[in-house]
Amino acid sequence: MDITVKRLVRSVKKGDQKAFEELVEIYKDKVYHIVYRMLGNVHEAEDIAQEAFVRAYIHIERFNEAHKFSTWLYRIATNLTIDRIRKKKPDYYLDAELGGGEGLTLYSQIAVAEQLPEEKIETFELQDRIQKEILHLPPKYRSAITLKYLEELSLKEISEILQIPVSTVKTRIHRGREALRKRLKDLDC
Amino acid sequence: MKCDGKYSTYMHKWVDEEIEPLEKIELLQHVKSCSVCKGKFEELKNVDQLLHNHHHIKAPNGFTSKVINQLPREKTSSKMRRWFKHHPLLTAAVLFLLLMSSSIYSEWGSNKSNPISVSANGAQVKIDQENGKVIVPEGEIVKGDLVVRNGDVEIAGKVEGDVTVINGNQYLASAGHIAGESQEIHKITEWVWYRLKDGTSTVKEWFTSE
Ligand SMILES: [Zn+2]
């Protein structure tokens, strides 16, 4: 897998767009996941995830092949997302959440599209809820939590993506998760 | 009552599977007797479970092509190189047509009415236009390669390099000697390959630069 990625990256550096297409196929779900989790809006997530790939292509010369390509790519995606969060007006998300009828959240969209049985819809509602609660966390906790639960990433990789020490990664995961626990509990009562 | 903050840390280490065995024992003993921490522990495990559950987060349909459409246009040279790499047989055919139509074809004369041309590295060779023949006389030494085009060659002397006869035959007299390799080129295909190996065409680079 890594050898394939290395070969593809080398071709992209020579200007091969077909090779880049393969890289997009390999990483699109993960990149979209990171952005969606942190933004909570499917349209915006698609926008930013696409922009992350376009930037990666344009700046491929800057990628140092001694490192993992995914680390570099996820860093671009995370930074773009954090920029977007900071530029947003604070009340934007309240509107998005209240206007649930628009079907802007991923899980409610799937639930409607697939006509799921009751218990599955309940699971989806819980997932929708945790997704919304993530959006109440400060961006630095959102990114740590998101990367932690994006499979196969070690704390070391997360620290390289976010460019912070491993100990800081751990603290942010713990604090972010603690905040989520409290918010979910309040909603239950 | 407020419990020691270390239990909260232990709980997080538990869900991250980083807890030490002694910490684990301590935590389990504490939650047996503390309902507040027991509740927190359950809540935290639920949150962890929910965060793990994200199978449905996938990039929307058409994502890849939308990305590719936004990329700056690809340089033509790399597009060409990739095409050549993926279609070796077609490349050979295109190459052939290209060469057929280019100057190489015009250089190739298939009838003997074209004048004989010789490159003999300055040696004194005899050109017999009437019989369409080049003769390297006995005692004469060609200090390098001998190339004869549109004629036969008869070697009675010595050639220290390679002998190439294009559109003609080569006869080696008993006294003659060729130190290098000798080849006769009769067909245009051979001629094309000869030109390619000669390194006179940039076409060669298309294959080697990838
Ligand atoms: Zn306690």
Closest residue to B78, CB basis, from A16, A57, A58? A16
What pLDDT score was predicted for residue A103?
Answer: 44
- B103-116 pLDDT per residue, tens: 666 666 544 467 78
**Residues in chain A closer than 8 A to B78 (CB atoms):** 14-16
Instruction: Give the Å distances, CA to CA, from A116 to A106, A113, A186, B66, B181.
Output: 14, 8, 27, 30, 79
Cα separation, B192 vs B95, in Å, equals: 10
Angle at alpha carbon of residue A140, lines to A136 and A144, rounded to 5°: 100
How much distance in Å is there from the Cα of A141 to the middle of ligand 1?
25
**DSSP letter, residue A150:** S
Candidates A47, A167, A174: best to mutate against B (most CBs of B within 10 A) is A174
Q: Which residues contact A144 (CB under 8 A, 6 or more apart)?
A: A158, A162, A169, A172, A173, A176
- Please tell me if residue B16 touches chain A, with a CB cutoff of 8 Å: yes
Q: Indicate the pairing of strand B146-149 with strand B117-119.
A: antiparallel
The reply to whether the predicted model has a pTM over 0.90 is no
pLDDT over 90 (residue A32): yes
Q: Using the beta-carbon criterion (under 8 Å), do B57 and A36 form an inter-chain contact? A: yes
What pLDDT score was predicted for residue B203?
Answer: 52
How much distance in Å is there from the Cα of B35 to the middle of ligand 1?
7
- A72-130 pLDDT per residue, tens: 999 999 999 999 998 875 544 444 444 444 445 666 666 666 666 777 777 778 888 88
- Please tell me if residue B54 touches chain A, with a CB cutoff of 8 Å: yes
Exposed, middle or buried: residue B191 (CB in 10 Å: 0-12, 13-18, 19+)?
buried
Yes or no: say if A131 and A44 are a contact pair by the CB < 8 Å rule.
Answer: no
- A13-23 pLDDT per residue, tens: 988 999 999 99
- Please tell me if residue A185 touches chain B, with a CB cutoff of 8 Å: yes
Closest residue to A127, CB basis, from B53, B68, B78? B53
Residues, chain B: 210
Task: Print burial letters for B130-151: b (CB count within 10 Å at least 16), e (below 16).
Answer: eebbbbbbeebebebbbbbbbb
Q: Using the beta-carbon criterion (under 8 Å), do B63 and A123 form an inter-chain contact? A: no
- Please tell me if residue A29 touches chain B, with a CB cutoff of 8 Å: yes
pLDDT over 80 (residue A153): yes
